[in-house]
A and B are shown apart, each in its own frame.
Chain A
């Protein structure tokens, strides 16, 4: 008895589908290149200034989206990220100032102190999110929505309703300097991508995140501690928001409670455009990177070809819907199951 297993595995079509965000990114760049050549007789893509601007614009939503990728693969969602980022941003700014002015530290250690405090504080909302979801069975949407409000209020209270300016040359240079022509922000974002790609694709933590997203019951019966895993995932996502927040403070030389306000939906959009399913169980870091770049290219490209900026929202929204439709069609096509 030798039953033929009809599993062709990943066919060529499926592999292309996995790369679809990169393919889409390529055609998007070609589209803007053609448009700007025809309309203004200038190049869009072969201009390092444009590429750097796009890369820098992509960093903040990308860093948020990296953590969100883990959460979405685990079949959850983290709505608190935007204001956790704002909270970390104002904490880092305030503590860097405090270290320099009250403790008399030189700028470099003062910056490190501020950054550590900002990122360190972001552990708290992550832990609370994970604990609510894992132990009290609060749905992720509700638990993190509550944390969205709490982080938002805390950030504004902490900053006294204002932005907190910093005067720390080291800290500002992180947000604005270049190394060998590459912006420091972009280098830091690339490091984040590599580390999180390693975590997701090479470690048990990543493997168990995929398993949990496909079936919590299966993961739990295989002996995976779902509660501990859930807390770890939400802490990771919150810490990435903390990193995005402290980088924001460097880039704008100020901490702002509303730093991440417009970025939360972009982070979810980047993950979805990158090929993850909101039902959990699928997604990759490289997909999310492409998703974040797609959004940044649309935003920058539309400004570059002089379209009214409000079209950005419509364009990004349309791309999100199309991504989900493509994802569903692909699942039906490849016979995979969905939403179990």
Chain B
């Protein structure tokens, strides 16, 4: 469906931990403005390939290309610096800090206090937080409130806002709706649409087939560390995806 160059190309990647073959010759592409859903049972290798892309694990066999160049990041920070943001269902935010502080966590903007002492520029963090949340259609009154005060979907929006602000090219979302109520899940789906509209490549991992069918442009199914099939949502059904996942 897409003949442009992919943002991310995974080619024949294999990975084993001791005797366990976690990934065996896995390949897929992600194009700009596309949501690629990764489906698979527990242990199918979804998380492993995500971690290889985002620099959590090292991989040796095969190639992962970002904009045509081979990448092998050794830390998540390196992946982020190269435009790959990963959004987790939880554990991604510091609950006691504000939206702005979370967007800038680890990369805080600095200013000079009295023209001398370096100090965190909280005004800038608050301004960016306001703008970013506006882009996502969230209107926040109090920007100094800790994110613990927000609901699950709103917290997910903060994580997505962080990816947007830092101009991620590729956003990896690992079960972004798993811990949310249904209305909140809808909201996150809408946020994914807005990331897509900005031309980002998105890898979407979910157990929820309904979410996958709603948001994905393409579905890649993994089974036991191998490619089990690739489908367009309009050409397939939930039953078929499940059959591919379990291998019957």
Chain A contact residues, CB within 8 Å of chain B: 1-10, 198, 202-204, 207-208, 210-211, 213-215, 217-219, 221-224, 281-282, 334-337, 340
Chain A's closest residue to B113 (CB) is A202
By a CB distance below 8 angstroms, the chain A residues around B146 are 336
Contact in complex: B96, A221 (CB < 8 Å): no
By a CB distance below 8 angstroms, the chain A residues around B107 are 222-223
Contact in complex: A337, B148 (CB < 8 Å): yes
Chain B contact residues, CB within 8 Å of chain A: 75-77, 80, 86, 88, 91-97, 101, 105-108, 110, 113, 117-120, 137-146, 148-151, 153-154, 187, 190
What's the minimum C-beta distance from A160 to chain B, rounded to whole angstroms?
A: 44
Chain A's closest residue to B77 (CB) is A223
By a CB distance below 8 angstroms, the chain B residues around A335 are 148-149
Chain A's closest residue to B183 (CB) is A3
Contact in complex: B96, A7 (CB < 8 Å): no
Cα separation A94 to B110 with both chains bound (whole Å): 43
By a CB distance below 8 angstroms, the chain B residues around A219 are 94, 105-106
Contact in complex: A218, B144 (CB < 8 Å): no
Contact among A10, A215, A223 for B145, CB-based, below 8 A = A10
Q: Is the interface of B mostly helix, strand, loop or mixed?
A: loop
By a CB distance below 8 angstroms, the chain B residues around A5 are 138-141, 150, 154
Contacts A9-B145, A223-B80 given; indicate if A204 touches B91 (C-beta within 8 A): no
Contact in complex: B142, A221 (CB < 8 Å): no
Q: Is the interface of A mostly helix, strand, loop or mixed?
A: loop
By a CB distance below 8 angstroms, the chain A residues around B117 are 198, 202
Cα separation A336 to B97 with both chains bound (whole Å): 11
By a CB distance below 8 angstroms, the chain B residues around A7 are 140-142, 145, 149-150
Contact in complex: A2, B139 (CB < 8 Å): yes
Q: Which 5 A-B pairs have the closest CB atoms?
A: A9-B142, A223-B77, A9-B145, A222-B106, A202-B119
Contact in complex: B105, A222 (CB < 8 Å): yes
By a CB distance below 8 angstroms, the chain B residues around A1 are 137, 187, 190
Chain B's closest residue to A336 (CB) is B148
By a CB distance below 8 angstroms, the chain B residues around A210 are 94, 96-97
Chain B's closest residue to A198 (CB) is B117
Contact in complex: A213, B149 (CB < 8 Å): no
What's the minimum C-beta distance from B129 to chain A, rounded to whole angstroms?
A: 12
Cα separation A204 to B151 with both chains bound (whole Å): 27
Chain A's closest residue to B142 (CB) is A9
What's the minimum C-beta distance from A289 to chain B, rounded to whole angstroms?
A: 20
